[in-house]
Every structure is written in structure tokens, then in C-alpha cells.
Structure 1
Amino acid sequence: MAEPGDEEAAPHDTARALQDAARSAGLAIAPAEVEPLLLALGGQPPATEGTLRRALLQIRRAGWRGRLSVLHQGAGALPVSAVDLDLAVTAVADPAAGDAELLSALRETVLARLGGYGSPAAALAAALDDLPKGATGEAKLDAVGHCAALVAEAFALPPADAAAFRRQALETEERRRKERRVAARAAKETRAVEERRLRAWEASLVDADAVPALLGCTREEAERWIRAGLVPVARRVTVRRGSRTTREAEFDPAELEKLCGAVPGWRRGDGGHRSVARREPRDEGRGSSNAAVARVAGLDRYAAHFATARSLNRRLVACLGPTNSGKTYFGLSRLAQAESGVVLGPLRLLAHEYREALEGQGIRTALSTGEERIPVPGSRHTAATVEMCPFHTPMDVAVIDEAQMLADPERGPAWTAAIMGVPARTVIILGAPDAASMVRRIAQLCDDPLEEVRLERMGPLVAARSPVPLGDIGRGDAVIAFSRRSVFEIRAELLRRGRSVAVVYGALGPTVRRAEARRFREGEAEVLVATDAIGMGLNIGPLRRVVFSSLRKFDGEQERPLSVQEIKQIGGRAGRFGGAHAEGIVAVLAGGGDPREIAHALTAPAATPEDLRPPVAPDADIVAAVAAEIGTESLFGTLRRIERSVLRRDDPNYRLGDLSTQIAIAEAVDGVRELTLLDRWTYAMCPVDERDEGISRLTDWAVEHAMGLAVAPPRAGRLPPPDRASQDALQSAERLHRRLVAWRWLAMRFPEVYRDLDSALAESRRLNDWIEDVLAARPSERTLGAGKPAGPPGKPRKGNPPRQRSAKPRRQG
């Protein structure tokens, strides 16, 4: 019979046996390590010393990584990446290793990585990128010299060559820093000058009460001519009068002075103002009048910019319907029957899918995206991203997908330009029903006939009546989260429950997204966990259910409920006509919201956008014309003037798209005076990740461009084994891939500066393959699966959410 207390004594005896085994091996075990060690050893004392050492190593490596991340900060000249930390702790084989051994392993890891870059120059560029930056955003200069010495050691350069390499590295870096400082100072001065010019012009404006005196007319005449549009309004400002807020017009006195000669003709009613009004010399201190700038830009006559399209007898066909209604099949079938044409979509990934679909029908099809070209000899069809729309070559058919993107403030202008400007005799516009009103407005502005085709969903879509527990998620389900962190929290929990999981989120490159979708589609992964990145076209195959982790999302500005269109667009991926899951089910995880909200959204009619005016943005020709008109070489000043003055806020036909990213880049690169205005405009259009210091890096590249240096493509160096990759290492690889996207985009435009395109493509493929392997691997608790969600997986935590951009597609062209 067991004595009382035997149950408690047994674990105590096992722990004591573990401690005895550790002492015999010359190892010290902290009290906090006993329980994890016993778990790792299956609750039994180790059979051999080697078994104990391996288990202790596994437990201590996680702590070592954190310790190394602190220790290397003290060795400020050591260029350490997240991958280096992973590889260094894996290389340490002694569980009793101390700080000195850890730092030595880290140094050896860094040397091995630097030696893998192919050339000392490439290794030095990568090392400088990894150095800790000070308050000025630059590493200390002596740290640069130390990095050069490390690179020389990694490549085993002879002493004389090593000294010369270090000397040249310091000289180049000093020159580069000097040019950066000059560029930064010039950019700051340029901004100040342009802001003063703009403020001076705004200060010179007068209200309607001053117009009669300036024109030499009565108040009644001035009001009549203003209403008729003869007197140009410079801008409208919000004025509060008591409890009432109004928008009141302001006028440019210089512009009014030029119109004085037209007044007699206006009084006669013969329109003589057009011939009498004269153009005065520009006041360089203030710049041209707003009306003159607006005339030059012509954004209020945007459709007229596309001369080739306007010369054709075009016909628009809007094929609108919900997800899984056959829109893409409708468009591509008609394109395949045409002698020539183009299909345009929002993502490089979709351009590839369009191309494959057309090639599958025997149609030779070229590819054109912002970072990639695949020419096909003899082809008369092209699949492209919407920003790459060809505007000068007439064709038979153009297909423009995802037209609801017209409502997007950042990328919407690309859809406006494509629909208005593609020179095709038949333009097929595909999109959600919500896009109908804006497509009709564009057809009216272009004076093109419009035919509307409405498609219905091919298969029922229903809302689940009850929330879904995470334990009920099974084969054929897709769980939708709204941040990368939530995706990995849910993935970790599902892996712990024995499910195999594929993931899709915005930071993944197109190749990896397609690979993860294929794993799910072909049954290698039972469950898909994704952000709303799956809502736009990715071929993920039949879904049994779409399950939202939450019915709220943080969109980069605020936490808000999902819109009706978001629930329809994403939830509509459930079910597939003629497939294994004909009926699609849309649900929400337990704790993530009320299922009745989904039911309401699925039956709600298509929403009409609040503002039906299509968004527009300047192109290179408009930027050049406005800069010449206001007499400036400042891209920042040009874009600010466009933002403030070329399109009235109350223009009845168009609205200006969001230029904030372009203006931020323009402000940074404006001081690189050796680059032309249009070269700087090209840099401003480059897709960058602002969360990864993308604008600063882009400016550095522009400085190197101006210095006549070749800009080397970013490289990742050594990568850890996929099954031991940490979250930091995965995110680092994703960041590197996005930097390569920007580099390749610039290489398409400045091949003489961004020269090593083959190397960049090879590095992109290597990163994609590694990221695929990481996502397909079953990670340890220490790596991708670490951290249990505090509450329903994917549900926003209490407190202020971290600022992130929403998962909308970034500019691709």
C-alpha cells in the first residue's frame, strides 16, 4: 500500500536524480530549468550524459539568443543580423557556455556570413546596413573601419590588400556621408523656400469682396462672372461664422489683373475675354497663379490627356458581380478571342495567373509588372499590373480587373487612368457591384458608351448561426486575421492541436503566397490562416468555410468594424461552384464578434461610395509642366503645388488621389541636385516599405546614383535551417525581399545604376525558397510558434493597437 505523500515524493526524487546527473556531468542546473528539462526528457532522469547535454542545450539556446542580443550592443562595431543570432546559438555546443563563448560564436557566425556574399564590396554593403545607427541615423566612422577589417578577414585578404580595402572603404563612406549631408541640407533649404513661396501666394489671395475693385466692375457683375466660371477661383477655404461653417472662395489678384481687358467683352456677352486676356511675365518670387498652374496640369480635363484612347471609338463593358461569380472567366474568355489585348490587375501575382490562364488556351502572352518583364516574341497579348497600362498602342480588347479599387485613395488613380486611357476598342471592366456608380461616371466623362453585365454568385453563400470554437477548425477552413502577429498566433495554436497549416499575408512575396495557396489547395495543409490579402484573386481552391478571427480590424489609423464589402469580398471565397464545397459558409471565431453581423452583410445591397468622382494623380508629363510653369526644379515644391492648387476640392468631376507618400519621398530626395526633376519623380514612385526606413534607404540609393556609383542589390547572407528559424529571422527575410522588390523596380528604370539584376533575381528566389520552407516546417515553441494568444486568437488586445498599415495591395507599377 502506498504511504501518504508518495505522489509528491516521486517527482521530487526524479528532480533530485536529475540534479545528481548534472553534477556528475559538471553542469549546474538552475531551479527554473528543472521542470522544462524533465518535460524535455519525458519525465525521467537522463539515460546518458549526452542526452542531458542535448536537452539542456535546447532549453538554454532561447535564453542565449536574448542574452546575445544584449551583449552585441556593447560590441557596437559588430554588424549583427537577426539570422546571425539564430545561427550563433545553434553553433554553441557547450551548455555551460558563458558570455565570452557566446560572443565568440557570434563573431565567427558574422565572419562566415560576410564571406558568403561573393565579393568584399557586397559584404561591406551588407555589414554597414546591419551596424547599429546613432542619433544621426549613421554608424560611427570607426565602426565602418572595423567592419571593413572584418570583411577583409572573412575573405582572407593579404595584410596590404586588407589595409587598402579598409582605407578605400573609409574614403568612400566619408564621401558618401558628405554627399548625404549636402543633399539633406539642400532638401531642407528647398522645402523652406517652396513653403515660403506657397505661403506668400496664399497670403496674396483676396476674398470675393475685393473682386469688383480689381476688375473695375459692380458687385453684381462680379458675382455673375464668378458663377459663370469666367473669374477663376484660386482656392476655397472653410470659414466659421457663428454656428455656421461655409466654404468661401478666394482669388488671385495677379490673375484678376490679367482679366481686366476681358471685362468689356464679358459685358457685351461675346466671350471676348478669351482673346483679350493676356499672359503677364511670371513673378518668380511667388510663382504662377493658381489658375495658370491648374490650366497647365489639366487634371480637371483628365480624360483629354489620353489622346490615343480619345481618338478611338471605344466601348466599355462593365461586368460586375460578387466573388465566385465568373467575372475573371468572362473577361479572359473575350480577351482570348481578340487579336490583341491586355489584362490589368492589382498584383504581380495576379498578372502571373492571368498569363498562365491565357497561355493555357494557347495564347502567347507577355508579362509586364513594375519589377519584371517577360517578353514573348510574336505575342499580341500582355498580362500586367494596372500601373503598367500601355497608353499609346491601340488594341482590340483590354480587361481591367478589381475595379472597386477605384475607391482606394492611394492606388485608385491607376484604375482611373487605365479605364480612361487604355487604347482598346472594347474595354471590359471587372469588379464588385459597388464599383458601378464610379464606372458610370468615368464613362460619362470619356463620352464612351457603357454596357453593364451583372453576374450572380455561382453557388450559395450562407452565414453560420453560431461562433466557431478554434478546436472545430478543420480541413478546408480558412481563418482570417488582420495582422501578421495574429496569423502566427492562430497558426501556433492550430499546430499545437495537430493541424497542418498554410499561411498567406501581405508581407509575403507573390511566389511564396502562391506556394502556400498550392499547399492548401492540394491538401498538404488542412487549414489556411491568412490576412485579408486572400480577398483579391489568389487561387486558393475550394474553401469549406471562411472564419473571421474578429469582425473588427485596425486599418492603420483606427480600429473599426469590417465593412459590408470586406465581409462580402473575403467571405465570398468560401464555396466553389461545381467543387467539393458548393455551399460556402462564412463564420466568426468564438469571442470574435456576433454572427448576425455577417448575416446582415451577406444580404446587404451594394454600397454606393460617398464620393463618386474618380481619383486622379499627376504623371511625369504633368509634373514637368507644372514645375516649368511655377519656375522650380524642386519636386517637393511641384507636388505641394499640385496637391494644393491644380484641382479644386469642389471640382465636380475629379478628386485628387493621395500623394502623401510621393511628397514624403520628394522631400527626402529633393536635395540630390545631380538627379533631374523627372529622375527624382521616378524615385518618388518607387514602392517602398516606410516601416523599414524605406524612404531613408531610397534616399541613400539616390545619393549613390548621383555619385556615379553602382547600387548593389540587398543580400541576406547565410540563413538558418528553416525548422529553427525565429520570428525575427523570418521577418528579416521578408524585409530583405521587399527591399529587393524596390531595387528591382528601380533596375527596370535605371539599369546603368542598378546593374546586377541577375544577382537580385537569384537572391529573390533564394529568399522565397527559404521562406517557403520555413512556413512549411513545423516549428519549435521557441521559433515561429512562440507565444500563446491572450484571449481569442486574432482578437485585438486591450490598449492601443500598434500602428500598422492596412493590408491593402501596395503600388505595383
Structure 2
Amino acid sequence: MDLAASPAERALAHAAEETGLTPSSRELPRLTRLVARALTPGADTISASEYERLVCDVRRKEWASQLMNATRRAGELWIGKADMLEAVSRMHDPRATPEALRRLLDDVVAERLRDLGDTPRDVLEAVQADLSDGGQFLSGGQVDRLAQTIARAFGIEDLGFEEELLAQERAKRDEEARIEARAEARRRRENERLKAWEDSLVPFAKVPSILHCSPREALRWIAENRLPVARRTPQPDGTELYEFDPAELKGLRHSLPEWRRASGLREREAEGANLGNRKVGNAVIARVAALDRYAAHFRTARSLKRRITLVTGPTNSGKSYTALNALAEAESGLALAPLRLLAHEFREALLLRGVPASLATGEERITMPGARHLAATVEMCPFHNPVDVAIIDEAQMLADPDRGAAWTAAIMGAPARHLFILGAPDCIPLVRRIAELCDDPLDEISLERKSPLRAASTSVKLRELAAGDAVIAFSRREVLDLRAELLTLGRRVAVVYGALSPEVRRAEAARFNDGDAEILVATDAIGMGLNLSIKRVVFSALRKFDGKQTRDLNVQEIKQIGGRAGRYGKHEDGVVAVLSEAGSPAHIRRMLAAPPEPILELRPLVQPDSDIVRAVAEEIETDSLYGVLSRIKRAVLRTDDPNYRLADMDQAFEIASALEGVEGLDLTQRWTYAMCPVDERDNGIIRLTHWAADHAAGRPVPPPGTGRLPQPVQAGREELERAEKRHKRLVAWRWLSLRFPEAYPARDAAESNSAMLNDWIEAVLRQQSRVREHQRQERGPRRGRGAPTRSASPPPRGKADSKRSNFGKKRRS
């Protein structure tokens, strides 16, 4: 033995000779360090058992890598990294063979699978759902292998279970293939129909000969909207090429004498007189859809003598106070909010004023007998029940490309004698334009902020954050990264971001307001709703990805989000700051002082509803929603229409396309599915098609389960994100269950699963903060990193904590 070697090297050499376990050159450096730590002072030997334990510690990473490679080669996608790490942690023999490691891994996987469901079939569905989260789908052979694994986990020896599962899986895949084949055939047929019609169009030069009129007469009738232009094609020189449907033109010949006699008729009268019952092209489709006369679509609202009061002002200016008082004093009323959470707050505000009120959101209903007031989300606006007073909140959403059309419909169609519209100053031009289109008188009230808002003079370091601060990030990942960093600094943190349910967001807001959490980390989801006692808003970035591109925050976004600082009655003023290296305080100051950015596009967004979809389908004689939406996108609203513009309908179009192969659903049912709130990034359209296929076949659609819910303190980001995705699926399922209760009958189970996930997610966010605080107190105050030196007592136990012992159990629908 080399006498110049260190004690650790001598101890390692001795133990290796005694046990016959010689480390590889890759293992030697780390093993030497571990032996050095294990040696007692002055010693240069280590026991054989301790040496073997240390060798196991060194080899576990390589063992996990071996298992990973083996499972991936075998296509066992349902075995994850956590399973492998758990398996190698149980191995205490440094001479472990691949077979021994695999046996341990099989034991770990079997335990997890048994935790996923009460029956093997439940487990199979849960595993496939978890894999689909990441866009992974099993082949027939992989399903066979998984079925065998599940059978062994449940101690099933016979092959009947596997054969039954495989038969069901093959039937499911065959049905999916038939659906896709039918969808492709129907899409091709509709596209061929549209192309044949387009190929039949003729240029203007042929119109006089078809109508037996002069070119001058034809031009005049086009200008008077008597001759429908089937298609307008922009040209490079800025002009448009007009094309016409010859069959449509021939059908108009009998009207020419009347047109020549009554050329002075007003445009609307001429349109109404000449529609008749003809089956014509795109121009008539546009008239049937009537999106260019959208305000007239809301007949109840147009029959009332409405008065609109527009109340604008920055955040914290008290816009809703006067409107809510007027609503509470009215005999009947309607309050429309942008979020389910805010609809609940409107209802609670009415109840506090002694006014019974019902609730209607996309996924829930609360009906109070005798109530003549309703709080609802904007998309749930009832257009046929007149009320005395209505409130529509957050009118600046009119410009939102995804939901703006819902605000257009609500403002134009709310059947209220007195309509209060609340919003940021940016919405004024759009609301004025809508009032003009509706021919409704408009009063305007402009409010000032109740407490001053100012920009901080310097940027802020993360360790300098104080109690009452809200840090704003622009992605879920950034929120959780900031939260983790603040927890390591010993801070108590609450979080709010879009993937959280309204219930969890409200619970996190309460933790912050009550002082249970010192700092709030949130996305711009706090820009609407949630009563938050924020002293200072601190931006972690001044750029965001808006779904299409990464861009600078605009004036309205900085004002809307920053305006959450300085809640009136709680703080004397509000402060808006930016984290160090994220931006300039001077830029914040300029943006807060800037006037509203001009809105260049004043045409409100519109989209069809079920009535319009049915009318167009009848006109073009099809029951294909794909065909109807194709024609609507092509025809119902000219790109140069002076009053309206068509909203983005890409997701509805994709859902309609996927549903083409599902037989047994009528047009209205398909349109309902196309409006369902699903997340394309979570395979939402594929899942929706499966649900629709079960619905059409008369099979009840079971609600999504909760999946495996580990103890909150053990949950990582992967488990948290999976729970959030499952909650989103439950939102979509509950939305459909309100519209198709026979097909989606297990509503109580869905409500229970939603509540479990909400409680679990809340417990994860709360418990991890509590554990960090406990660890900090045990270590004592941190020094040198700017962390606070004061200690804080643990927060009181809440509802989520009382249920912690249940989270490890099997809970699902």
C-alpha cells in the first residue's frame, strides 16, 4: 500500500481488497470523496458493509441509466424516471445484476399502477391519459405489454383480462380510423363542392350579357347592392377583381323591370325585397348570416328603448360601485363578467345588498327560486329575457382577438333598458362605435383613480422584496421559478396563474391578503378581478409571448397590471417597479404617464351563433359543419366591411373538421362541441372527438379522474402540471355536461374530482411554502443574502391541510 496515499485512498484500497469490489476509473473520484466523509477522525479503514453502501450510492445513477435505456428500447413509455430512481434507491447490493434491478423496477411500477385505479381497466385508461399529456400514444403491441403489466400488478393470472382489453383497444382504434376516414371523405366532398362553385364564377364583363342589361346598369346595381358579388379578389395594384355566380344572376332577371322603376329605393329595402327564396352563392350566404347587419340579429335588444352608460377609469377607480348600486335597486338585472371568479363576486355583491341572484357560467349553474337577477360570464349572456339594468365589465376585452366577439354580442344584445358598460379608457372608441351601430344613446362617465399610482425611482432586487409586493411574470414556468427562488430565501409565497382553477386562485389571494404569504408571484391573470391588497407591483419582465410572438408590454397592459398596486383603503398609494436587469424604472414612469394607445381598428369583432350556422346550412343545403364554416369564412363578411370584422374561428374550424367523421350528431350538437373550451396543446381536440364519438354512439362519457395524487409535500412540478391539466379537462367535461346531460351523466363525480384536484393543488402550493418556512426556522436566520431575519409562526391549519392524509389514497371518478 502506498504510504503517501491519503487516509481515504488507503481505506478505499483496503475495503476493495477485502470485498473484491474494485471501482472503475469513473467511479473512483466520487467514491474517494464519499469514503473521506465517512471516515472517523484519525481512521484509515472503513467497514466492508459501509464500503458496499457507498459503492451502491455511486452506482445508482448508472443503474438508473441502464433501466432507462432498457425500458425505452422495449417501448415501455409508462415507466418514468421517478420509477427508476425509486427502484435503484431500494437496491443495496453493489453487485446488482440487470435482472435484479429489473425485478425491483417491476415491483415499484406495480405499486404505482395499483395506486392509479380500483380496477385494471381504470388503470389502463389513467396511464393512457397521462401519456397523452405529453403527446405520446401507445401502439397495439405496447398496449398488449401494458395490459400484461397491469394484470401482474393486480395478481391476475388468466389471459382473459388482457384479451378483453386488447379487443376493446382494437375496436377503439378501428373506430378512430373509421372516423378519420369519414371525416377526410366529407371534407373532400365539401371542398370539391366549393371549388366547383368557384370555378363556375364569371367576371364582370359577362354580367351584361347574362342579365340582358347595359354595363352601366350593372355597375349601378352593384353599387346599390342589388347584384351580389360572389367573390372579391385583391389585385397587386390595390383594386379588386369582382366575380359573379351566373346561376344567381339568371335568377335575378325577373327583378330587372322593378329595379329600373324603383332605382331610388333605400338599400335595405331593396335587399329585403329581392332576396326571395333563391338558392344563390356567397353574397346570399352573407345576407343569410347577416353579420354585416349584426346588431339587427339581437331582436329583443332592438325592440327595447335602451340607454347605455359607459363608465371608464383606471384600475382602482371604483367603476363598479355606482353600477352595482343601480343593479341592486332595479327590479330585474344582469351582471356579466369576464371570468367565472368575477361572476361569483358579482353575485356575492348582490347577495350582500340583500338581492337574490342566480349564477350561470360555462360549467356551473346556481338557481335561486324567485331571483330576478343573474350573474354570469359574458359568453352566457341571455339575449331573450328583458331586464331593467345590466352591467358588462372589462369592456376593453372588445379588442381581444380570442374573446372580443363575445363582448360585441353582449353589448349589442344585452336586453336591458339601462346598460352599464365598465372598462379601461381604451374601450371608449369601440363602445361609441357599437352604440352608434345599435342606434342607442350613450352617456359617458370618466373616473379618476382613488389612490395615487407612481413609478419606483430604482429597480428592485429579488432579495429586496417586501411584504405586500406582487411580482409579475408572464409564464407558468417563470412564476414557479420565482416562487422556488423566493422560498429558498425564506419568504412565504402565494402564486396566481392562468392554469389554476378560480377556487385555487381565490385561496391563494386570500393567503396573500391575510398575511399567510408575504409575497405574491403571479402572471398577468391578476389584471382582471381578484381583490388583492398589493402595495407594490414589481415586473419581472417587460416583454411577453402573446401566443404568436414575443413583444414589449403595451401602455394598457402596464397600466392595467400596475394599477393593482395601492388598494384603496389599505395603502396610501401604489408603486410600480421592475426587477433589476429586467428593465428601466424610467420606462415604467413613461408608460404610466402615457395617454391610451390609439385603437386603429374600430370595427367590432363578430362571429356566428347557432341560429346563423343553421340558416347558412339550410341555404347551402348541407348538414356539414365543416362545409358551413368553410363558407362562412369565405363569404359572410367582406374583409373591407365598413362596420364589422370576423373573429378568429380557427379552433372551431379545427374541431368541426375533426368531427366530420363522427356520425349521429346533428348540426347544432356539432356547433356546441366546436364552442367547447379545450386546449389544443393538451390534445384537447382529439379528446373532444373521442367524447363526441361516445356521445353519438349512445355511450355515456365518463368524467376525467384525478389520477395519482401523491402527498402534497412530495409533489413536484410534473405532478402539479398534470393535476392542472386534468382540472382543465374536467372544466371541458362539465361544460358539455350542462349542454348534454344524458351523454355526460356523472356530474356529481366530476364535481367531486374537481374539488379533490382544487384541494390538492392548493395544499401543494400551501404545504411547500410551509415546509420551506419550517426548514428555515430550524436552520436559523440566513445571513448575507438579504433574506429577512425575523421568524414567522406557521399559518393556521386550513381546509386543505385537514385533508392531507387522504391525498395518497385512490380517488377518482
Match of residue 235 from structure 2: 239
The CA deviation at 1:271 is: 6.0
1:763 counterpart = 2:753 = yes
Aligned equivalents of 1:42 and 1:513: distance in 2?
A: 51
The SS at the match of 2:418 is: strand
The answer to whether the aligner puts 1:259 opposite 2:249 as a matched pair is: no
Q: Distance in 1 between matches of 2:420 and 2:48?
A: 72
| Contact 1:318-1:428 within 8 A present in 2 as well | yes
CA contact (8 A) 2:459 2:578 kept: yes
1:3 equivalent in structure 2: none
Tell me how far apart the structure 1 counterparts of residues 578 and 739 of structure 2 sit (CA, whole Å).
45
Please tell me the residue identity of whatever aligns with 2:140: L
Matching residue of 1:659? 649
Compared with structure 1, are the counterparts of its residues 488 and 65 closer, same or farther at alpha carbon in structure 2 (3 Å cutoff)?
Answer: farther
Structure 2 counterpart of 1:427, from 409, 413, 419 = 419
| Residue in 2 that maps onto 1:809 | none
Name the CA shift for 1:109/1:688 in 2 (closer, same or farther; >3 Å). Answer: farther
Q: 2:8 touches 2:39 (CA, 8 Å); kept in 1?
A: no
Q: What is the Cα deviation at residue 690 of structure 1?
A: 0.9
**Counterpart secondary structure, 1:560:** strand
2:228 touches 2:284 (CA, 8 Å); kept in 1? Answer: no
- Aligned to 1:336, what secondary structure does the other structure show? helix
Q: 1:486 to 1:33 in 2, by over 3 A?
A: farther
The secondary structure found in structure 2 opposite 1:79 is coil
Q: 1:554-573 counterparts in 2 under 5 A?
A: 554-573=545-564
Following the alignment from structure 1 to structure 2, what is the Cα–Cα distance between the partners of residues 761 and 677? 29
Partner of 1:321: 313
Is contact 2:64-2:85 (8 Å) kept?
no
Instruction: Please state whether the residue corresponding to 1:417 is helix, strand or coil.
Output: helix
Check the 8 A contact 2:88/2:101 in 1, yes or no: no
Alpha-carbon deviation of 1:675?
A: 1.7
Residues 672 and 728 (structure 1), Cα distance of their counterparts in 2 relative to 1, 3 Å cut = same
> Is the 1:36–1:59 contact (alpha carbons within 8 Å) kept by the matching residues of 2?
no
What are the equivalent positions in structure 2 for 1:16-31 lying under 5 Å apart?
30=27
Q: Give 1:375-394 correspondences, 5 Å limit.
A: 375-394=367-386
Q: 1:693 aligns with which of 683, 690, 695?
A: 683
Q: Distance in 2 between matches of 1:249 and 1:123?
A: 60
Q: 1:587 to 1:210 in 2, by over 3 A?
A: farther
The residue number in structure 1 matching 2:223 is: 227
**Residue of structure 2 equivalent to 1:79:** 78
Task: Trace 1:95-106 onto structure 2 (pairs within 5 A).
Answer: 103-106=102-105
Query: Does the CA contact (< 8 Å) of 1:88 and 1:102 recur in 2?
Result: no
Closer, same or farther in 2 for the Cα pair 1:472/1:290, shift >3 Å?
Answer: same
Distance 1:719 1:54, change over 3 A: farther
Q: Is the 8 A contact 2:53 2:92 kept in 1?
A: no
Q: Is the 8 A contact 1:296 1:622 kept in 2?
A: yes
Contact between 1:260 and 1:277, CA under 8 Å: does it hold in 2?
no
Measure the CA separation in 2 of the matches of 1:185 and 1:473: 58
Q: 1:654-709 CA deviation, whole Å, 9 max, x = no partner?
A: 11111000001111111102222222211111111111111111112222222322
Q: Distance in 2 between matches of 1:36 and 1:344?
A: 65
Which residue does the alignment assign to 1:300?
292
**Structure 1 residues 482 and 131 mapped into 2: Cα distance closer, same or farther (>3 Å)?**
closer
| More deviation, 93-102/595-604 | 93-102
Q: Does 1:123 align with 2:123?
A: yes
Query: Alignment partner for residue 198 of structure 1, among 172, 189, 194?
Result: 194
Contact 2:183 2:660 in 1 (8 A): yes
Of the candidates 767, 774, 780, which is equivalent to residue 764 of structure 2?
A: 774
Q: Does 1:713 align with 2:703?
A: yes
Say whether residues 1:178 and 2:174 are aligned partners: yes
Relative contact order, higher structure (CA 8 A, sep 6+): 1
In the aligned structure 1, how far is the partner of 2:178 from the partner of 2:728? Answer: 28
Q: Which amino acid aligns with 1:471?
A: R
Task: Tell whether the 8 Å contact from 1:115 to 1:155 is kept in structure 2 after alignment.
Answer: yes
For residues 446-493 of structure 1, the C-alpha deviation after alignment (integer angstroms, 9 at most, x for no partner) is 222222121111111111233222222221111111112222222222
| Greater Cα shift, 207-216 or 434-443 | 207-216
SS in 2 for 1:240: coil
SS at match of 2:358: strand
Q: 2: CA distance between counterparts of 1:713 and 1:22?
A: 58
Check the 8 A contact 1:133/1:139 in 2, yes or no: no
Name the CA distance, whole Å, in 1 between partners of 2:138 and 2:399. 43
Q: Does 1:312 align with 2:296?
A: no
Residues 489-508 of structure 1: pairs in structure 2 closer than 5 A? 489-508=481-500
Structure 2 residue runs of 5 or longer lacking an equivalent are: 773-813
Partner of 2:775: none
Note if contact 2:473-2:541 (Cα within 8 Å) is conserved in structure 1.
yes
| Equivalent residue, structure 1, for 2:779 | none
> Cα deviations across residues 359-416 of structure 1 (Å, max 9, x unaligned)?
3333332221111122223322222211111122222222111111111122111111
Bigger mean CA offset, 631-640 vs 770-779? 770-779
8 A contact 1:61–1:89 mirrored in 2: no
Q: Which moved more, 1:126-135 or 1:170-179?
A: 126-135
Map of 2:538 onto structure 1: 547
1:498-527 deviation per Cα after TM superposition (whole angstroms, max 9, x unaligned): 222211111111122112212211112211
Q: What is the CA–CA distance in structure 2 between the aligned matches of 1:418 and 1:432, rounded to whole Å?
A: 17
Matching residue of 1:673: 663
Whether the aligned pair in 1 keeps the contact of 2:712 and 2:768 (CA below 8 Å) is no
- Check conservation: 1:87, 1:109, Cα contact below 8 A: no
Match of 1:613?
603
Q: Which amino acid aligns with 2:370?
A: G
Q: For residues 346 and 39 of structure 1, what CA distance do their matches in structure 2 show?
A: 62
Task: Give the root-mean-square deviation of aligned CA atoms.
Answer: 3.7
Q: Which moved more, 1:211-220 or 1:435-444?
A: 211-220
The 5-angstrom pairing of residues 45-64 of structure 1 reads none
Compared with structure 1, are the counterparts of its residues 456 and 183 closer, same or farther at alpha carbon in structure 2 (3 Å cutoff)?
A: same
Tell me the TM-score normalized by structure 1: 0.84
After TM superposition, give the deviation of residue 599 of structure 1 in Å: 1.5
d(CA) in 2 for partners of 1:39, 1:372 = 63
SS of equivalent to 2:580: coil
Residue pair 1:76, 1:143 contacting (<8 A) in 2 also:
yes
2:438 pairs with one of 412, 432, 446: 446
| Aligned residue type for 2:239 | T
1:58-89 deviations in whole A, cap 9, x for unaligned?
Answer: 9998998777665543443563478x649946
In structure 1, distance between residues paired with 2:439 and 2:197: 37
Counterpart secondary structure, 2:443 = strand
Task: Determine if the alignment matches structure 1 residue 139 to structure 2 residue 130.
Answer: no
Show structure 1 runs of 5+ residues with no match. 1-8, 283-287, 782-813
Counterpart amino acid of 2:530? L
Contact 2:511–2:517 at 8 Å: present in 1 too?
A: yes
Q: TM-score, normalised by structure 2?
A: 0.84
1:748 aligned residue (725, 738, 744): 738
Letter of the 1:263 partner, please give it.
L
Rounded Cα–Cα distance in structure 2 between residues aligned with 1:55 and 1:574:
54
- Deviation string for 1:199-252 (max 9, x for gaps)? 3333333344433333333333322222222222323322013xxx33444333
- For the residue of structure 1 that corresponds to 2:213, the secondary structure is coil
1:535, distance to aligned residue in structure 2 (A): 0.8
How far apart in 2 are the matches of 1:429 and 1:752?
A: 38
CA distance in 1 between partners of 2:661 and 2:57 (Å): 52
Contact 2:455 2:575 (C-alpha < 8 Å) held by counterparts:
yes
Equivalent position to 2:729, from 714, 734, 739: 739
Larger Rg: 2
Q: 1:369 to 1:276 in 2, by over 3 A?
A: closer
Write the distance in 2 (CA, Å) between the matches of 1:215 and 1:492: 74
Separation in 1, partners of 2:84, 2:315: 42
Shift of 1:323: 0.7
What is the 5 A alignment of 1:155-166? 155-156=154-155, 159=157, 163-166=159-162
